[in-house]
């Protein structure tokens, strides 16, 4: 897997030095932010309508149109993501209400997600603080200490079918309907979840009245589930790659975890656009207040960041087979490494 070499790493300023260097990219541009919403939302709505119309011709044609529509929904989620970081607009209220409105389309309660995602940024790569908002990952030693039944449960959870087929549908369609991670977190999270549910119900009711239940479900569920799967895959490869970075609390540094524990996922131009540059994830974690449309400029101005934790699409497919953190090799490894360790110590 292509990653930053020791020579390249030596050329880098310390991870902690990047915050002041990146501060100048934080300023959002109102017209650009508004334009990005427009060029994403309008095609999404048009494709949604086209998928509905195509049902009168062929279900397969409709399903084919649902795929690019799902791509635009992923981009809307990425824009909502920037709102959660306060990076799309200067005004907090405008970020928040834009994020809440988009949350109805992305079936994601904005305030609940924003809190969980903030915890992810605050603890990413910390072995002693694996909190909500991240994909559950065990170390080799922790896995081997489990009972056979618990090891089976973890293996089932890390199975690609669970992670990328069942899991996304469950999280976005069902789990997001309640503030599961913040049951006792206060009224704000309940209002966020219930308000999003109400918005979904109103829009769904109108569309069901216009389309009929069957046609609505074909288009709505296809677009939502495909988008959810793409989103979970992106989140997975942004942190679950071989040479990622984990450390115990005493050694863990936020900036090191941001720079070396987040991938630079290099996608073809069209996919990079539809995912709103979220593949430049190492820069995003270094400074989450940078608007997504300014991330490429960071790489242009600081080319030394280009090859840090670089991961191509084809290389990313091998990440599916990585399941455990090996503290000895400081790498994410497959389940076979745990078995080798057990045999070696017995």
At 54-94, the pLDDT tens digits run 999 999 999 999 999 999 999 999 999 999 999 999 999 99
At 284-306, the pLDDT tens digits run: 999 999 999 999 999 999 999 99
The answer as to whether 328 is a domain residue is no
Residue 329: band (very low, low, confident or very high) from pLDDT cuts 50, 70, 90? very high
The answer as to whether 198 is a domain residue is yes
The answer as to whether 34 is a domain residue is yes
DSSP state of 247: B
At 237-266, the pLDDT tens digits run: 999 999 999 999 889 999 999 999 999 999
At 185-234, the pLDDT tens digits run: 899 999 999 999 999 999 999 999 999 999 999 999 999 999 999 999 99
Instruction: Tell me what pLDDT residue 14 has.
Output: 86
For residue 279, give both structure tokens.
């593949």
The answer as to whether 283 is a domain residue is yes
Does position 153 have pLDDT exceeding 90, yes or no?
yes
For residue 241, give both structure tokens.
């790659």
Does position 15 have pLDDT exceeding 90, yes or no?
no
- Which domain range does residue 62 map to? 6-137+160-314
Residue 344: band (very low, low, confident or very high) from pLDDT cuts 50, 70, 90? confident
Mean pLDDT of the region 174-180: 95
**Number of domains into which the chain is organized:** 1
The answer as to whether 215 is a domain residue is yes
Cα angle for residues 267, 270, 276 (degrees, 5° grid): 75
Q: What is the spatial distance between Cα 233 and Cα 183, in angstroms, rounded to a whole number?
A: 27
**Are 258 and 238 spatial neighbours (Cβ–Cβ below 8 Å)?**
no
The answer as to whether 179 is a domain residue is yes
The answer as to whether 91 is a domain residue is yes
Residue with tokens 């490429």: 296
DSSP state of 14: P
DSSP state of 16: G
Q: Render the burial of 101-140: b for 16+ CB within 10 Å, e for the rest.
A: bbbbbbbbbbbbbbbbbebbbebbbbbeebeebbbebbbb
Instruction: Tell me what pLDDT residue 51 has.
Output: 98
Beta strand 331-333 pairing with 324-326: antiparallel
CA 216 to chain centre: 27
Q: How far apart are the first and last CA of the chain?
A: 32
**Are 265 and 307 spatial neighbours (Cβ–Cβ below 8 Å)?**
no
Q: What is the spatial distance between Cα 36 and Cα 104, in angstroms, rounded to a whole number?
A: 18
**Are 37 and 291 spatial neighbours (Cβ–Cβ below 8 Å)?**
no
The answer as to whether 325 is a domain residue is no
Residue 7: band (very low, low, confident or very high) from pLDDT cuts 50, 70, 90? very low
Residue 2: band (very low, low, confident or very high) from pLDDT cuts 50, 70, 90? very low
* DSSP states along 128-167: T---SSS---EEHHHHHHS-HHHHHHHHHHTSHHIIIIIH
């Amino acid at each position: 897997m292509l990653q930053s070499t020791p020579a390249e790493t030596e050329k880098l300023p310390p991870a902690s030095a990047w915050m002041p260097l990146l501060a100048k990219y934080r300023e959002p541009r109102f017209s650009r932010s508004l334009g990005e919403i427009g060029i994403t939302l309008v095609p999404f709505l048009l494709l949604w309508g086209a998928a509905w119309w195509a049902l009168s011709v062929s279900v397969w044609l409709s399903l084919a149109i649902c795929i690019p529509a799902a791509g635009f929904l992923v981009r809307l989620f990425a824009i909502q993501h920037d709102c959660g970081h306060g990076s799309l607009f200067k005004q907090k209220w405008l970020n928040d209400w834009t994020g809440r409105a988009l949350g109805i389309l992305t079936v994601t309660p904005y305030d609940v997600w924003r809190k969980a995602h903030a915890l992810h940024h605050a603890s990413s790569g910390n072995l002693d603080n694996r909190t909500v908002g991240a994909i559950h990952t065990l170390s080799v030693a922790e896995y081997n200490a489990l009972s056979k039944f618990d090891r089976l449960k973890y293996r089932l959870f890390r199975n690609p079918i669970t992670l990328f087929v069942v899991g996304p549908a469950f999280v976005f369609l069902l789990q997001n309907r309640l503030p599961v991670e913040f049951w006792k977190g206060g009224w704000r999270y309940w209002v966020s979840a219930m308000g999003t549910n109400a918005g979904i119900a109103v829009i769904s009711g109108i569309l069901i009245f216009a389309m009929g239940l069957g046609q609505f479900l074909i288009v709505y569920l296809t677009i939502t589930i495909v988008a959810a799967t793409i989103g979970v895959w992106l989140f997975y490869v942004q942190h679950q790659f071989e040479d990622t970075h984990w450390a115990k609390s005493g050694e863990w540094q936020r900036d090191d975890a941001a720079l070396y524990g987040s991938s630079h996922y290099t996608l073809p131009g069209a996919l990079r656009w539809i995912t709103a540059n979220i593949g430049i994830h190492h820069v995003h974690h270094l400074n989450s207040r940078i608007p997504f449309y300014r991330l490429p400029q960071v790489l242009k101005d600081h080319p030394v960041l280009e090859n840090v934790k670089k991961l191509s699409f084809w290389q990313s497919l091998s990440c599916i087979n990585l399941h455990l953190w090996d503290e000895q090799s400081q790498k994410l490894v497959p389940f076979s490494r745990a078995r080798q360790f057990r045999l070696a110590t017995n």
